[in-house]
Each structure stands twice: as C-alpha cells, then as structure tokens.
Amino acid sequence: MAEANQLFKEFKIQSVSEFFRRNAAMLGYTGKIRSLTTVIHEAVTNSLDACEEAGILPYVRVEIEELGREHYKVIIEDNGPGIPEKYITHVFGKMLAGTKAHRNIQSRGQQGIGISGAVMFAQITSGKATRVITSTGDDSIIEAWVKIDVDRNEGKIVKKEKHPNPKGWRGTRIELEVKNVRYVRSKQGIYWYLKLTAIANPHAHIELIEPDGKLIVFPRSSEDVPEPPVEMKPHPRGVLTDDVYRMAKKTRRSSVKRFLVGEFSRISDKKIDELVEYIAALRLIKTEDDKNVQEQLYERLMEGEVKAVLRSFKGYTKVVKQVAKLMDKPPEKLSWHEAEEIVEAFRYMKFLAPPTHGLRPIGEENIEKGLTNILKPEFVTAVTRSPKVYSGGIPFQVEVGLAYGGEIPGGFELLRYANRVPLLFDAGSCVTTLAARSVDWRRYKVDDLDRAPLVLMINVISVHVPYTGTGKQSIANVEEIQNEIRLAIMDAARRLQTYLSGKHRRLHQAKRRRTFEKYVPEIARALSVLTGKPEEEVKNYFLSYIEGHFAAKEAGGAEEVSENA
C-alpha cells in the first residue's frame, strides 16, 4: 500500500491562468474561425466599454494581416482613455482582474478574463508577446510587449519603450500574433461580428481591414454617447451568507443596522425593525419540538404573519430585544451564524424589486438607427420593455428590433445580443432562440418565417447576464427572461402586421386601379360615339374619377390603420 507522502508527491496548486491555458475552449477558443473571432470580440468590447465610461464617441479600427497559412497578426486600435503604465500588466496579463468584475454594474465583460485570455491564446499558439501601445493623452506614449506568467497568473513586460507624444494622441493599440486560426467571411467570423456590433452600437465608428487589404467601414449613425452605467447596491434577495459576512468585515459603517441600510438596496430603518422581528420569529420557531407545528409556523411566516408567529410564543419580547442588540453591534464583529440568520430572514421578507437605474438599454430610437444604417430595410421598429427581475432579485431588461424587406435578403435572421455584445455561437441553447421560435409568426402575416426577408434583433441587458458558460455565447433559459422576450417580440410583430396589412391593401388597390384604367380608352371611344363628346374629354373624365376614387380609398385605409395601431 502506497504511503500518503508518496501519493501527494505530485500535488500541485494550479493558478487561474494555468487552468484556462489547459481549458481555453471554456473561454471560446475552440475551432479556427471562432478562436479568431473571440480574440477580436474581447478587444473590441474592452474598447467600447472604455470609451463609453470616459464619455468618448468610440472609434475602433481592426486590422487582420495574414502572415502565413492559418497565421495572422491582429491589430485593434481605439481612441479610448488609454491605460496608465502601472496597470498594463494587470489589464493584459492577469486573469480575473479588471475595473468591472468586482462591481455590481452592467458591462459588456463580466469576468475580468477577456483580454488577458486573448493574450494567453496568442502566447500559446505563436509563442509571441502581445505588443501594447497606449497613452492617456499626456506627453508620452508607452510601448510594451506583454506576456503572461502562467504559473503565477501575472503579466510581465519583456520589453518596454517610451516615446514622446507631441500631438497628444490618446488611446490603445494592441497587436497579437495568433496561429491555427482562419479568417473567413462567414456568419461566425469577424466581419459579421463587427457588423452586428455596429447595429447595436450606432454611436461607434468601426473599421475593418481584411487580409486582402479591403477596407470596410461601419460609420456611426448617432452622435450621442450612452450614459455610463451606474453601480447598483446588492438586493437582499440576491445575496448569500458569505456575501453579507464578507461585506460586514470590509465596511466602515458604525453598526450592523447602518451597514445593512447603507450597503443594500431596498433596506430602510423601518425594514430593519421588520428584520429584527423575522430573525426573532425564526429563532423561536426552531425551539418548537413538534415538527408539524413548526412547519405551520414557517408557512405563516412565509405569508407575512410575523407578529402572529411571535405572539404564539411566551416571552417573545425578550428574544426581540436580543436581536435588536445584534443590530447595534459593530459589523466587523458579526459572526457567521448571525449573518446566516440575516440572510434566512431575507428569504421570508417582502422587498420592493431592486432599482433599475443602473441598466442602460440601447433605446428604441438608436436600435432603429442601427438597423436602418446597416441593413437598409423598408420597415423597421423597436421595443424596449420596462426593467424586470429574475430569480435572486437580479434586474434585467429586454429590447427587440425588427427590420423587414428593403435590402434584406430572403431568410429569417436572428441577431442575439447580451449587453450590446453580439452572440454568434451556441444559438440552439440560447433563451433568445427558444423565445423567437416559440412565437406563431403566421398570426402577424409572416406565413413562411424561414423565407421572409426579416431580421429580428434581441438584446438582453443585466448586471449579471445568466450565461450558460464562461464562453458567454448563450443565455440560460430563465423563465422570466424568456417571457419578457416573447412579449417584446409580439409587440414588435404587431407593428409589422399593421405595416404588411397596409402594404397588401395598397398592392390590391393598385392592381384594381390598373384593371379599370385598362378599359378606359375603349369605354371613352364608345361613349364618344353615343354622346358626341370628344373622346379625349371622356377619357380624362374617367381617369380623374378613378384617381379620386382610389385616393379616397387610400385615405380611408390609412385612417383605419392609424386607429388600429
């Protein structure tokens, strides 16, 4: 039998970087086309987030240079705020680090893995460091070559130069060499990704230089920079015991009461009094020996009958006073058990839904601008639903854009987004796909969805988008989110139905008009012979009558459509 020391000889602590180096597919680096698109995705989302937080209209330039077979240099440049020199290694070389991952805030990236994952992918496929050129607009430009120390999950600069900045350039340019990838113009490639990004971000100017040197420009159609998202306090229904315990140790509030009121949303002084009663009631219920009685008391507590539950125990006021003292103690002295009691009480209490002021939708006007600018449809509409919450008290919002006809080719196209970021892969398991296919499109005069010149855009925004995996390409099938998507789609589809009804009616009237006008010359000749009136005069009379008749019909139809809308 092997000794324990022998068994543990190969025991090793694995860093985050080492884990993702071995499991790059979890970050989206799987397949030659998808891997290249993922590199671009991570860099572009960083650029857009940085520009928006700094109040800058984004300019993003992507260049793909072919160096050999399945070997490319990828260059992404933006006009963002730049990166201070001391943060370069953290941004590009340290996983699970960033300005947004630790904050309760809506952002395109949520994990702090993205761009450092791209740097690692370049490093493990080409062996080359990533070249970073950046300036915050001061008198110098920093040029650094960054690699990741996988064992330590740290970035290291292998070479650095500082250059003068006489023109005050500000922004960031990164250059990565990647191998075993392919550039193709498919619906999972870079061109399509940037096209969809331009639709959801009409305020961004995006350029792409393809490997053959062709320049493609997606110009901005809006001059308004979206307001940066606001950090939101956690909601009581969405926290764990560990969250409360850790937050209590870090806060500077003077008491547990002030900590709960100040660090959480929807908790007031009045709510603290209620919390005290619920904690006291839970403590008393647990002293009940009869399990049936205990279950009945839990049910009454769930129904909000906390005062009645308290009164069913003798000496309950003593327990309430004990819990009240808990609220006055310093937060750093809060025990795990006490944090557990607080969170358990949260589960029984009723709270207002979390505030949604931190969500930043694209907006109906901007969705219509983006779809019109890129797709050139004959009809476009957009719907932005009111914010809602899904399980755990997490706020989210759904937006839908619908474009029909014009330059859109036949065949239904679903454009999926999360926080304005295009989702190109894993569509089959995504809640957006399930919701779009669950709608009966025939009710809205779309008889054959798969052949219709129809583009449906769905954007789900949230502080925490419930992705199905770390690759962030598919949204989990959460019931509340699916219902909101369906309602938004049906709202937009009703507007399409109104448009198509009017279009069909106009086509029918035009056909009837041509039929009448076809027989006017023959009728005019016959009536001229019978009445002695000039043939041209009779002909003009009937043409004028037909024109007036169909003009009245068209006006009546337009009024009817307006009333129905």
289-325 pLDDT tens trace: 899 999 999 999 999 999 999 999 998 999 999 999 9
**Is 509 known to sit in a ligand binding site?**
no
**Is 433 known to sit in a ligand binding site?**
no
The reported pLDDT for the residue numbered 102 is: 41
**Is 393 known to sit in a ligand binding site?**
no
**Is 533 known to sit in a ligand binding site?**
no
- Residue keyed to tokens 């002030």: 258
pLDDT tens-place string over residues 202-256: 999 999 999 999 999 999 999 998 887 777 888 898 788 998 999 999 999 999 9
Q: Of 39-48, 97-106, 455-464, 477-486, which range is least confident?
A: 97-106
Q: How confident is the model at residue 114 (pLDDT cuts 50, 70, 90)?
A: confident
**Is 109 known to sit in a ligand binding site?**
yes
What is the average per-residue pLDDT within 48-75?
A: 95
What is the average per-residue pLDDT within 323-333?
A: 95
The reported pLDDT for the residue numbered 26 is: 56
CATH fold of the domain at 364-499: Ribosomal Protein S5; domain 2 (3.30.230)
pLDDT tens-place string over residues 172-210: 999 999 999 999 988 889 999 999 999 999 999 999 999
- Residue keyed to tokens 């839990």: 298
**Is 206 known to sit in a ligand binding site?**
no
Report the alpha-carbon distance of residue 531 to residue 538 in Å, rounded.
10
Q: Which residue has the higher pLDDT, 294 or 550?
A: 294
Q: Give the chain's count of helices (H) and strands (E).
A: 17, 14
**Is 159 known to sit in a ligand binding site?**
no
Report the alpha-carbon distance of residue 439 to residue 444 in Å, rounded.
10
The DSSP string of 197-240 is: HHHH-TT-EEEEE-TT--EEEE--S--PPPPPPPP-PPPGGG--
Q: Of 100-104, 136-140, 251-255, which range is least confident?
A: 100-104
Homologous superfamily, domain 16-218 = Histidine kinase-like ATPase, C-terminal domain (3.30.565.10)
Binning the chain into helix, strand and coil, the percentages to the nearest 5 are 50, 20, 35
Joined together, the tokens standing for residue 185 give: 């113009």
pTM: 0.75
The reported pLDDT for the residue numbered 561 is: 38
**Is 472 known to sit in a ligand binding site?**
yes
The reported pLDDT for the residue numbered 8 is: 60
**Is 358 known to sit in a ligand binding site?**
no
**Is 113 known to sit in a ligand binding site?**
yes
The reported pLDDT for the residue numbered 390 is: 83
- Residues 6+ positions from 247 with CB-CB distance below 8 Å: 259, 263
Is the pLDDT score of 467 beyond 60?
Answer: yes
Is the pLDDT score of 111 beyond 70?
Answer: no
Report the alpha-carbon distance of residue 408 to residue 414 in Å, rounded.
13
Report the alpha-carbon distance of residue 249 to residue 330 in Å, rounded.
9
Q: Which residue has the higher pLDDT, 128 or 4?
A: 128
**Is 76 known to sit in a ligand binding site?**
no
**Is 14 known to sit in a ligand binding site?**
no
**Is 285 known to sit in a ligand binding site?**
no
